[in-house]
Homo-oligomer: A and B are copies of this chain.
Amino acid sequence: MDEPTRYAEGMKTRRAVLGEAYVDKASASVSEFNRDWQEFITRTAWNDIWNRPGLERRERSIIVLSIATALGAWGEFRIHVRGALNNGMSRDEIKEVLMQAAIYAGVPAANHAFKEAMSVFAEVDAEG
């Protein structure tokens, strides 16, 4: 697969998972400084990895929420709470991921993740 195809296929998945609004905003903020970066992650993360067969998208969301919680990557966590909802996870299932994560990544990580998830849900609800 050549680079333009990887980018186009990655962008489709990125839009399907993260939502049109988020990706439009990210695309609008592309600058000379972060253009290479935005293109790299679209090709590499969103095509080369997310488009692989072998796991369902909702399972990939579970991986990303788990790792973002463990590493305290809260910006990424928020983006992927929306991604998880778009990939078919219920709020209750997200809750279960965080309760399981508490055992393996510690209570402070899970405690903060609960706060962030509730804040994202409130945003989603406000958007109607």
Contact = CB atoms under 8 A, between A and B. Distances in A.
Contact of A106 (B31, B54, B96, B105): B105
A48 B3 CA distance: 11
B33 A117 contact: yes
Interface string A17-36: 00000000000000101101
Given A49-B100, A104-B107, 4 more contacts: A37-B102, A49-B103, A76-B112, A105-B106
Interface of A: 1-3, 31, 33-34, 36-37, 40-41, 44-45, 48-50, 52, 54-55, 59-60, 62-64, 66-73, 75-76, 91-93, 95-112, 114-115, 117-118, 121
